[in-house]
Structure 1
């Protein structure tokens, strides 16, 4: 047992971190291991790899992800701000390098290989961007004379422009939704929020008009007869085949033909083999993580911690909701991973970084520490 009287960094972390939230995240990670084992072998076999290639890599990425998650959860709000600034700057530089040197796959440049590792820099940019935007909004509330909101708009335009150039409209919409939610939480006028939504809708319409693969996906969603809907149709069949309790581990049919059964459509594979009951359990885990974080954020006296934790929770929850909605044919197909469930090294490590910051920002801290952080944050030049 860890005594409350111990004054070690670990004991202080253990008694201040939200252990229920941490437990839910660990359960989600373990569920990802099980579903990766169920969904990935047929994909690996089809492309001539060892049957457990993707599963082994999933587990391999899980260890550093967990280390990142726990390590980041030890950080103070000040350290989180500084780390987010560094991660965002590095991510933006890598996105620019990807646009210049990354390979083009299906009309997009989203990956760059460094030291033999494929990196999708937009994944790490997302949580860092949310934290920086939250800090700027909190500074705007404390010091109205500071052009913090304009700076927040500036980094939004920078990141969105780079993502559109890849192009990656799924991540772009996720960033815009998270930023808009933060904008609203920070107390900005509703007319500006509606204006942002209008700009996003206009951007989506422009993408429909001028980007062929975006137009194709939207047309297939609105009228399935207009194109190839094999993946979403197979995913829906998987839900139907699975019923409430599923066909049993390893008995799924959809994963034998679904090209992205271990990434975008792992939720459908889980439904077929383990049933709708498992899907509801996964949905409940995501809902618990988001709502628990939002409730802890609301109780925080520190504006930055409140905004950043809420923004990260919304980012996490919206990404999960988009993936599950695509599997259920409620949204057009997008390349969006299911947090901690889908295969993907960059995605998993970046999610661990974001969730680690959520845990750090929702830790119980003495009031004197919160007031000290707020005073320091109000000091000019503070980061």
Structure 2
């Protein structure tokens, strides 16, 4: 075990926070899975869900370990190869997407021969952030034009978002905002960012108008859900999502300051998606305000550590990778918690590393592995510089010692004036 810990390179603080969040997740997942255990005339035994979550977490940490061993500059080329593959997966999801656990959005595909469901938009998120980081770092030293960036950067971005938008508006909106943030950090022209923001809003408006023109099309089936959720949130009009929000608010109010205690949630039996989308409400009900604020604090501290890691990174590509892959994890967590307390309309975003679900956990682990990889490389560079400085200091000390001994020999008269080979004074004069 000690040898395994010693092999964990990179930012130890990030490793620690990830481990703490993963360990904490077992308690709310074990408790909140009871409603799933009763579905379909089940027995209510949540042990199987706990073991399934344990398997997801263990595989996730193996993913982090494996990814953090790959030099992060390899992801420049990987992003170019992976993006067309992601487009094919997204297109397949639009056509053949399945419905999971009662969710009415076709966002998943079934992996053949394995039986695992996979949400392709989560993989697309990671690949797109790597692609944007690669482009911005490549163009740093070159004078870029809007036409060139439109072809190399924005067309791939809009193709990716366009295939995610019909089934998952919240993820597409989060991705678009993160891309804009990444281009801002990468010192892309603010004027061009403004143009792209306007184009994105216009494209969304066109999509909504087309949905009104073709209301029976499966491609636009989710637009009515978005509009009803937004209308319910802004006008307090009763809707199907009100049941979830009301149960979530009851759970949060019941928790009080100290909570009902681990496993003692009542609303977990009534709240749909209690182990995924609304798991934060169960956490507050069982652990109280203290537990809810504790989870929020851990995400904020992880966010601060991402900022520190980005600041320490000398490579622009590495810096953009940390920002582009790390910040969305924190923003997704904030969105999930904001939905639970009704600060935002229902979005379907999970709580990273805590909510149940294999594909969401594994994709977060891939992003964390790349971030830790960047910090590992910076530590290796710092260690090399430190070793070089120590070697130079030791060599200088040895030279100073030799010169000091030669000066003592010269002052004591141990050299003859004719000895040009050993007398340091003569050696200097001969030069």
Does residue 112 in structure 1 map to residue 109 in structure 2? yes
CA-to-aligned-CA distance 1:74-122 (integer Å, 9 cap, x gap): 2212223344445444332222222222236766321111221111111
Aligned counterparts, 1:78-157, within 5 A: 78-103=73-98, 108-114=105-111, 115=113, 116-144=115-143, 147=148, 150-157=151-158
Does residue 24 in structure 1 map to residue 21 in structure 2? no
Give the aligned partner of residue 165 of structure 2: 164
Identify the match of residue 238 of structure 1 among 242, 246, 251.
Answer: 251
Identify the match of residue 329 of structure 1 among 336, 339, 342.
Answer: 342
Q: Structure 1 residues 191 and 48 mapped into 2: Cα distance closer, same or farther (>3 Å)?
A: farther
**In structure 2, distance between residues paired with 1:158 and 1:174:** 15
Give the aligned partner of residue 234 of structure 2: 222
8 Å CA contact retained: 2:34, 2:269: no
Identify the match of residue 381 of structure 2 among 349, 366, 381.
Answer: 366
8 Å CA contact retained: 1:139, 1:148: no
**In structure 2, distance between residues paired with 1:287 and 1:358:** 16
Give the aligned partner of residue 175 of structure 2: 175
Displacement of 1:195 after TM fit? 3.8
**In structure 2, distance between residues paired with 1:330 and 1:217:** 13
Give the aligned partner of residue 294 of structure 1: 307
Does residue 39 in structure 1 map to residue 32 in structure 2? yes
Displacement of 1:154 after TM fit? 2.1
Q: Any idea what SS the aligned residue of 2:318 has? A: helix
**In structure 1, distance between residues paired with 2:150 and 2:58:** 38
Give the aligned partner of residue 264 of structure 2: 251
Give the aligned partner of residue 374 of structure 1: none
Please identify, of 198-207 and 311-320, the stretch whose mean Cα deviation from structure 2 is larger: 198-207
Please identify, of 290-299 and 266-275, the stretch whose mean Cα deviation from structure 2 is larger: 290-299
Aligned pairs, number: 362
**In structure 2, distance between residues paired with 1:217 and 1:205:** 17
Displacement of 1:204 after TM fit? 5.2
Q: TM-score, normalised by structure 1?
A: 0.87
Q: CA RMSD in A?
A: 2.6
**In structure 2, distance between residues paired with 1:179 and 1:290:** 18
**In structure 1, distance between residues paired with 2:109 and 2:30:** 27
Give the aligned partner of residue 282 of structure 2: 269
**In structure 1, distance between residues paired with 2:136 and 2:186:** 6
Q: TM-score, normalised by structure 2?
A: 0.78
Q: Any idea what SS the aligned residue of 1:331 has? A: coil
Q: Structure 1 residues 87 and 80 mapped into 2: Cα distance closer, same or farther (>3 Å)?
A: same
Displacement of 1:131 after TM fit? 1.2
Displacement of 1:199 after TM fit? 4.0
Does residue 353 in structure 1 map to residue 366 in structure 2? yes
Give the aligned partner of residue 213 of structure 1: 225
Q: Structure 1 residues 156 and 237 mapped into 2: Cα distance closer, same or farther (>3 Å)?
A: same
Give the aligned partner of residue 220 of structure 2: none
Give the aligned partner of residue 377 of structure 1: none
CA-to-aligned-CA distance 1:202-238 (integer Å, 9 cap, x gap): 5555666642111110011112234230101111111
- The unaligned stretches of length 5 or more in structure 2 are 212-222, 386-431
8 Å CA contact retained: 2:306, 2:327: no
Q: Structure 1 residues 281 and 137 mapped into 2: Cα distance closer, same or farther (>3 Å)?
A: same
**In structure 2, distance between residues paired with 1:156 and 1:86:** 15
Tell which structure's C-alpha radius of gyration is larger: 2
Displacement of 1:190 after TM fit? 2.6
Aligned counterparts, 1:337-348, within 5 A: 337-348=350-361
**In structure 2, distance between residues paired with 1:214 and 1:207:** 12
**In structure 2, distance between residues paired with 1:225 and 1:148:** 44
**In structure 2, distance between residues paired with 1:265 and 1:39:** 9
**In structure 2, distance between residues paired with 1:99 and 1:369:** 49
8 Å CA contact retained: 1:298, 1:306: yes
Q: Structure 1 residues 97 and 327 mapped into 2: Cα distance closer, same or farther (>3 Å)?
A: same
**In structure 1, distance between residues paired with 2:257 and 2:77:** 47
- The unaligned stretches of length 5 or more in structure 1 are 4-8, 371-383
8 Å CA contact retained: 2:98, 2:110: no
